[in-house]
Chains A and B, each alone.
Chain A
Amino acid sequence: GQQVMQIPQYQHVQEGEDFTTYCNSSTTLSNIQWYKQRPGGHPVFLIQLVKSGEVKKQKRLTFQFGEAKKNSSLHITATQTTDVGTYFCAGRRGYSTLTFGKGTMLLVSP
């Protein structure tokens, strides 16, 4: 079955440092979504990427979808304590449901 892998599992940065999490799928995806889950909370949708090579930005967050549509990344510039949480990528093939990765937990120290 489809597998979505994320690295790293965990990252601890100082406030102001950059952060990147990577997502790799075992199969070509139709689209990929990113979610953020705060500690004790539920996943909240951040963005969806659909096109090969697509790059989208949301303020300090930059999302990329690989040319082969099998990998993606999320980069946060100048992290803030409000960025703390676990970031999940979730991939979809055709009209199947989303398959989530295990997530990358981000800790930001002030």
Chain B
Amino acid sequence: DAGVTQSPTHLIKTRGQQVTLRCSPKSGHDTVSWYQQALGQGPQFIFQYYEEEERQRGNFPDRFSGHQFPNYSSELNVNALLLGDSALYLCASSLESRNTGELFFGEGSRLTVL
């Protein structure tokens, strides 16, 4: 039973570019959340997708957008990259629609913006 998978694992971009990160949730899970984790910090909530819609959003600008597909996989897009967007981007999946259970995290995508 595959856990949460994310791709790519590492990537380097320059300021102003755009990036797309991908996530496949744990088998049977229907909810995907995205977190940004800067070095030495805790994960910061970006947004959550359920039934292909953004259900909740954290305090991130519109440059951060996402999508969920019918198979529950998800993408995170970041436009007009800034140096401060350098971080580990974590995808977490869960199985409930009422946000009461644990999150299963993927290994993350480490983004470096130069």
Contact = CB atoms under 8 A, between A and B. Distances in A.
A22 B98 CA distance: 27
A7 interface: no
Contact of A102 (B41, B56, B102): B41
A5 to B, nearest CB: 10
Interface stretch (B11-19, B68-76, B79-87, B104-112): B104-112
Interface in A23-45: 30-31, 33, 35, 41-45
A103 interface: yes
A33 B102 CA distance: 8
DSSP majority for the B interface? loop
B100 A95 contact: yes
A95 B105 contact: no
Contact of A45 (B48, B90, B102): B102
Nearest to B104: A45
A96 B55 CA distance: 10
A43 B90 contact: yes
A45 B103 contact: yes
Interface string A69-104: 000000000000000000010101001111111110
Given A98-B45, A101-B42, A43 B59 contact: no
B59 A1 contact: yes
Given A97-B58, A98-B45, 17 more contacts: A1-B59, A6-B42, A41-B107, A42-B90, A42-B105, A43-B43, A43-B103, A44-B105, A45-B103, A45-B104, A48-B102, A98-B99, A100-B35, A100-B42, A100-B44, A102-B41, A103-B42
